[in-house]
Amino acid sequence: MSDWTLRLHGVGNASAVALGSAMATIEQGGRPWLTIDCGAEGLTAYQAAYGESPRALFVTHAHLDHVGGFERLFVDTYFDAARRGRVVVYVPAPLVPLVHQRVAAYPNVLAEGGANFWDAFRLVPVGDAFWHDGVRLEVFPVRHHWPDTAFGLRLRGSMVWTGDTRPIPEMLARYADADELIAHDCGLHGNPSHTGVEDLEREYPPGILSRCLLYHYASVADGEALAARGHRVGRPGEVVALAAPTAARAQPWNG
């Protein structure tokens, strides 16, 4: 049995405070392995679950319900000598200036001076793939708000996290072709930046729909309505079993 799981810290859209900001952590052996996004409510849920702040994060996009926890994470990290400069933040390269503008550009991050926002972290810009803890993860663009401003994440053979998106059947045909769980943005009603349930049902074949775990919906009632249509709906605090990854692993270097 696999020891890989996905913990949902929050499953709501930007207005659904009671459901928590959309954020999750891939776990191995019950311990956090890689966290996806850093919303304010999501960070609180993370700390309640693990008793500490994240040590490795991937950022899907720069909307504040996904990066609004970074100011608090900076404080937790910068003033802890054991963590400062060691918390790795993987950011798709096109997002680096956007994330910087959103969370790091405020002048004099400390009133006393002497600190830069990124001093607390190890920022790693990434392209279409990156290595974390010796495992290769894949990154792909999604359809959210504006081109090249939002990205999904794949841990091959285990899970795909779409991030906020419209339907992306062409991407999932490529990046979810190994029977992965697909955590997919879906509300009861769609809009130009997000998937609605009718969009989901129209765009995806049954084989994809059967693997979808829906999140980023607007309310508890909307979640129940999605479930009543036969869909699997994520809940705040839920821990979902994952298959063991089949992603490439780094080989020992013998140089």
Task: Quick: pLDDT tens for 40-69.
Answer: 999 999 999 999 999 999 999 999 999 999
pLDDT mean over 198-226: 98
Query: Quick check: 26 pLDDT over 80?
Result: yes
Residues 165, 166, 170, 173, CA torsion sign: positive
Looking at residue 61, its pLDDT comes to: 98
**In the β-sheet with 31-36, what is the strand arrangement from edge to edge?**
121-126, 87-92, 56-58, 31-36, 23-28, 4-10, 239-241
Task: Quick: pLDDT tens for 68-84.
Answer: 999 999 999 999 999 99
Q: Among all chains, which residue has been given the structure tokens 């810290």?
A: 9
The closest of 80, 190, 77, 158 to 123, measured between CA atoms, is 77
Looking at residue 41, its pLDDT comes to: 96
| pTM as predicted | 0.97
pLDDT confidence band for 254 (50 / 70 / 90): confident
Task: Quick: pLDDT tens for 90-133.
Answer: 999 999 999 999 999 999 999 999 999 999 999 999 999 999 99
Average pLDDT, the chain: 97
pLDDT mean over 220-242: 98
